Chains A and B, each alone.
Chain A
Amino acid sequence: GAVVSQHPSRVICKSGTSVKIECRSLDFQATTMFWYRQFPKQSLMLMATSNEGSKATYEQGVEKDKFLINHASLTLSTLTVTSAHPEDSSFYICSARLPLTSGGRIGEQFFGPGTRLTVL
Chain B
Amino acid sequence: DAKTTQPTSMDCAEGRAANLPCNHSTISGNEYVYWYRQIHSQGPQYIIHGLKNNETNEMASLIITEDRKSSTLILPHATLRDTAVYYCIVRAYQGAQKLVFGQGTRLTINP
Measured CB to CB, the residues of A under 8 A from B are 4, 6, 34, 36, 43-46, 49, 91, 93, 95, 97-98, 100, 105-114, 116
Contacts and interface: CB of A to CB of B under 8 A. Distances in A.
- 3 smallest CB-CB distances across A and B, nearest first, come from A107-B95, A111-B43, A44-B101
A100 B96 CA distance: 7
A44 B96 contact: no
Interface of B: 38, 41-46, 85, 87, 93-96, 98-104
A107 B42 contact: no
B100 A113 contact: no
A107 B49 CA distance: 13
Contacts of B38: 44
Given A43-B101, A43-B102, A43-B104, A112 B43 contact: yes
Contact of A114 (B41, B85, B93): B41
A109 B95 contact: yes
A91 B41 contact: yes
A114 B95 contact: no
A106 B95 contact: yes
Contacts, number: 54
Contacts of B98: 34, 46, 49
Contacts of B43: 4, 6, 93, 95, 111-114
Contact of B96 (A45, A107, A112): A107
A46 B100 contact: yes
A106 B93 CA distance: 10
B102 A107 contact: no
A89 B58 CA distance: 36
27 contacts: A6-B43, A34-B98, A43-B85, A43-B87, A43-B101, A43-B102, A43-B104, A44-B38, A44-B44, A44-B101, A46-B100, A91-B41, A93-B43, A95-B99, A98-B95, A100-B95, A105-B94, A106-B95, A107-B93, A107-B95, A107-B96, A108-B46, A109-B99, A111-B43, A111-B45, A114-B42, A116-B41
Contact of B95 (A45, A49, A97): A97
